[in-house]
Chain A
Amino acid sequence: MIDMPHREQMNIVIAGHVDHGKSSVIGRLLADSNSLPIGKLEQVKESCRRNSKPFEYAFLLDALKDEQAQGITIDSARCFFKTRQREYIIIDAPGHVEFLKNMISGAARAEAAILVIDANEGVQENSRRHGYMLSLLGIKQIIVCINKMDLVNYQKSVYDAIVDEYQSFLSKINVNAKNFIPLSARNGDNIASLSPKTAWFQGNALIDEMDLFEKEKPDFHKPFRLPVQGVYKFTEHKDDRRIIAGKIESGAISVGDEVIFLPSGKKSRISSIEMFNAPFKSTAVSGECPGFTLETQIYVKPGEIMCKISEPFPKMTSLFRVNIFWMSPKPMITNKQYKLKIGTMSIPVFLTELKNTLDASDLSSDRNKQQIDRHEVAECVIKTSKPIAADLVSDIAHTSRFVIVDDYRISGGGIILQTIEQKSNLYHANTTHSKLSWEKSLISSQTRADRNAHQAMLIIILGELEIFNNIVARELEKFLFNSQMAVYYLGVSDNHLLNNSDSISTDERAEYLRRFAEIAQVFTHSGMILISTISNLNDYELDMIMKMNAPADMFVVSIGNSGIDSEKIDLEFPSHIDPSRAVFKITDFLRRSSLLLEYQLPTFRRMSSDTTISRSE
């Protein structure tokens, strides 16, 4: 078996309350499966002897120096170990309550779990909390080890009582433990082979039971989902393929299949499946990370989900009923903007309603809380700033999972339970109205984009120094114009907005900006690129312009402090940036975002001899 050409691998997480013996169980698994480097066991034993402390198998894992000092595992370390059946990567999750986020990180990439409970101490807070977290993370196979049986003289009654208590807890959260095993990691009982000391035990030893874990089956038969990671075209290396890349989260797809990108709704057909240094293939399935070329040239952005037209679509909404587990010391509160990451999409999100919070350790619930505290699980409603495409956990788990970012860090994770019907909002009414008042051209925006060789878009340049923003806008216009693009610069300065008086009312300003948005709409509907600078624009006004300008893309550049919410800014520069450098970065970004991808945009360096623009370096 050792020489099997491709051995199966499986990620396993070990969880459980502090000091219940998780590290000892792993140490034993490593030692008894003969997976340790030569001399490692002796080296650790010798070190214990020199420091006059009794040897424990847990010490094998304490690779970090400060960890040994604290005596607890501080992060999810990985151990590699082999059995006759397969290779395991064991993720050692810490038991200390402060370190739940590390246990979650370990568990989120595991296929199965071993949960350790001390026979002497019985079921504790983290035995329950970890069990609950495992179920939320989507781990369905769990072995529960009742460890330290030597401390209770291997009594069947102690074992049975703990099994009953924990089994009833698991049934409340709809988890089926695969099996329970009485263990003594210290003495090696029931680890690699069954021990005579627990002759009453009818099951398998731990290693044999682990080998019975089943590999997760790919979701070939579920609807196809591919969150778009990137749209690549490497023209500088004379490669004309325009490749949509991502990971297939579920389902299968073949050349010729009709596809739709959501939320934009753009459609095309698969022309080819692209891979580097791999044999040609006409079908790709879940788990793979291939690329695709399409039969027609459509502009899609990273963050959208590619689906098959023949299959059920994901839900499209901005209101979701979800479960969230929170891991940050700063609680999650209502009406604060967070960042939601789902699939390859990032979008502002708000917690709008807290239905129920649950202390994961004892399943007691509280319906009157106003915030989600650390280590709590909540059932709540969240609202994204725009509708997104996502699935329900009961349909396709992979595309129902999300994280919430606060203060630059992933602070919470969650799953979507349901979508909630939405009432149309004010903007929606506004924009619908303005669209109704015009007779529309019959030439599609796609046809215009194909002829112009670029997409229509509105580029808004904001920043502290208006005069500087104008310089950048003009240089950008000149550069794009010289690159044969249909481009126009139209700034809205204080003079226009102030209208020769010291100040204008909010209503007047709103009316001017509404007019501007209508003008911008005409430009983008005609397929052009409009560049604009607007004095003292705020978040609300920016949203209004963006909505009126849809479906054309809006691209926001901020130079220095613009006072705009950073989530709305696509590209940010320091206030002292050289204007030509800014132009270079903007065009580079547009190209990378595939907004200018179809056009053979000359590199900035080459253009610099033809125009007045030159790079500062």
Chain B
Amino acid sequence: MDHLQKLEAQSVYILREAYREFKNLAMLWSIGKDSTVLLWLTRKAFFGHVPFPLIHIDTAYKIPEMIKYRDELALKWKLNMIVGQNKQALADKQTFPDGTLTRLACCRVLKSEPLKHTLSGEWPRYKLDHEKKEYVLDSNKESYMGVIVGVRADEEGSRSKERYFSPRDKQGEWDVSDQPPELWNQFNTDFSPGTHIRIHPLLDWTELNIWEYIDRENIPITSLYFDRNDGKRYRSLGCGPCTNHVESSAKNPKDIIEELRTGKFAHVAERSGRAQDKEDGGGLETLRTEGYM
């Protein structure tokens, strides 16, 4: 087995453990390359099927192509697609693009908060109706006890401290200094009432591994990652106002792999185009202990 087959096998194992141990399980799909690889690995684990819902928190400021791509793939792969949103904050114009909040506060209001309340079922969930091809109010209000997330250890400092199965307390907060141990292929799948577990099948993957795998498996990825003849592309995707292009002429996964291995990005951090990281002292730790992914 080569290194990608090993990474794949480990992720598949973790996904199946999650499916066996958690009756209320969901996966977060940010539409980016990592969680799309995670979605593909889910189809690997379950032989072409995705046996749990996918949740997307729509900040309303996502780059429009992302939403189009999400819905096309959801219909094609018959995904149980759930969308959550902080409609109140958007209506009250309490956001960074409205000029009323800092970037960090905006992340909290448009991402962390709706994520927490969508997972718990307190806020409305919108579910893709595959016949009508539109989102309808979801009647299921059960809270999700296991949440699969596509974070990678090499992204930034706080993510490098994660476990594969990471308990979160009743407020959704993460106690970095007191995490239970994880041994061999045994994970912490027990949890006390009111808490939930985040599951991280991609922890050992690097940005390069992700692109190598996308290339090998021919996984459909949003075209925002590629140069569309203007010498610019996104390396990491987020909200339009806080995500910058990078100068690059990479037009396909192979070009990107080359760029990451030996080219201009071999020594430049992936999230360098994400403005909120800089506001949080570079560590994202404040946001992440509060529930940011």
Cβ of B209 to closest chain A Cβ, rounded Å: 9
**One of B23, B161, B185, B191 near A589 (C-beta < 8 A):** B23
List residues 227-242 of chain A with CB under 8 A from any CB of chain B: 229-230, 232, 234, 237, 239, 241
Assembly CA distance A339 to B21 (angstroms): 14
Q: How large is the interface on B (under 10, 10 to 19, 20 to 34, 35 or more residues)?
A: 35 or more
Cβ–Cβ < 8 Å partners of B252 in chain A:
none
Cβ of B88 to closest chain A Cβ, rounded Å: 23
Q: Are B3 and A9 in contact (CB under 8 A)?
A: yes
Cβ–Cβ < 8 Å partners of B12 in chain A:
289
What does the 1/0 interface line of B1-16 toward A look like (CB < 8 Å)?
1111110110011001
Q: From B13, B161, B183, B188, name the one whose CB has the most chain A CB atoms within 10 angstroms.
A: B183
Q: Are A63 and B47 in contact (CB under 8 A)?
A: no
**One of B3, B43, B186 near A6 (C-beta < 8 A):** B3
Cβ of B18 to closest chain A Cβ, rounded Å: 10
Stretch from A75-83, A116-124, A188-196, A550-558 that touches the partner:
A75-83
Assembly CA distance A65 to B188 (angstroms): 26
Residue of A nearest to B185 (CB): A247
What does the 1/0 interface line of A6-26 toward B look like (CB < 8 Å)?
111101000000000000000
Q: Is B259 an interface residue (CB 8 A)?
A: no
Assembly CA distance A402 to B185 (angstroms): 9
Assembly CA distance A402 to B186 (angstroms): 8
Cβ–Cβ < 8 Å partners of B184 in chain A:
108-109, 137, 398, 401, 403, 413
Q: Are B181 and A102 in contact (CB under 8 A)?
A: yes
**One of A7, A38, A246, A327 near B181 (C-beta < 8 A):** A327
Q: Are A276 and B47 in contact (CB under 8 A)?
A: yes
Q: Are A38 and B9 in contact (CB under 8 A)?
A: no
Q: Mostly helix, strand, loop or mixed at chain A's interface?
A: mixed
**One of A3, A36, A80, A409 near B180 (C-beta < 8 A):** A409
Q: Are A104 and B47 in contact (CB under 8 A)?
A: no
Q: Is A410 an interface residue (CB 8 A)?
A: yes
Q: Are B268 and A37 in contact (CB under 8 A)?
A: yes
Q: Is A425 an interface residue (CB 8 A)?
A: no
Q: Are B183 and A75 in contact (CB under 8 A)?
A: no
The tally of residues in A whose CB lies under 8 Å from a CB in B reads: 68
Cβ–Cβ < 8 Å partners of A439 in chain B:
none
Cβ of A341 to closest chain B Cβ, rounded Å: 5
Residue of A nearest to B41 (CB): A276
Q: Is A545 an interface residue (CB 8 A)?
A: no
Q: Are A77 and B157 in contact (CB under 8 A)?
A: yes
Cβ–Cβ < 8 Å partners of A241 in chain B:
47
Cβ–Cβ < 8 Å partners of B262 in chain A:
2-3
Residue of B nearest to A36 (CB): B267
Residue of B nearest to A77 (CB): B160
Q: Is A287 an interface residue (CB 8 A)?
A: yes
Q: Are A64 and B47 in contact (CB under 8 A)?
A: no
Q: Is A89 an interface residue (CB 8 A)?
A: yes
List residues 207-229 of chain B with CB under 8 A from any CB of chain A: 217
Q: Is B290 an interface residue (CB 8 A)?
A: no
**One of A63, A108, A230 near B20 (C-beta < 8 A):** A230
Given contacts A76-B161, A78-B203, A237-B49, list 19 more A-B pairs with CB under 8 A. Answer: A3-B261, A6-B2, A63-B156, A63-B158, A64-B285, A65-B281, A77-B157, A105-B181, A109-B184, A229-B16, A229-B17, A232-B46, A239-B47, A245-B45, A277-B43, A289-B9, A339-B190, A405-B188, A408-B190
**Sample (10) of A-B pairs whose CB atoms are under 8 Å apart:** A2-B262, A74-B161, A108-B184, A241-B47, A245-B47, A275-B47, A277-B44, A288-B5, A341-B186, A410-B183
Give me the interface of A with B, judged by CB distance under 8 Å. Answer: 2-3, 6-9, 11, 36-38, 63-66, 74-80, 87, 89, 101-102, 104-105, 108-109, 137, 218, 229-230, 232, 234, 237, 239, 241, 243, 245-247, 274-277, 287-289, 291, 302, 327, 339, 341, 344, 398, 401-403, 405, 408-411, 413, 585, 589, 617
The 4 closest A-B pairs by CB, nearest first: A63-B157, A101-B181, A617-B139, A409-B180
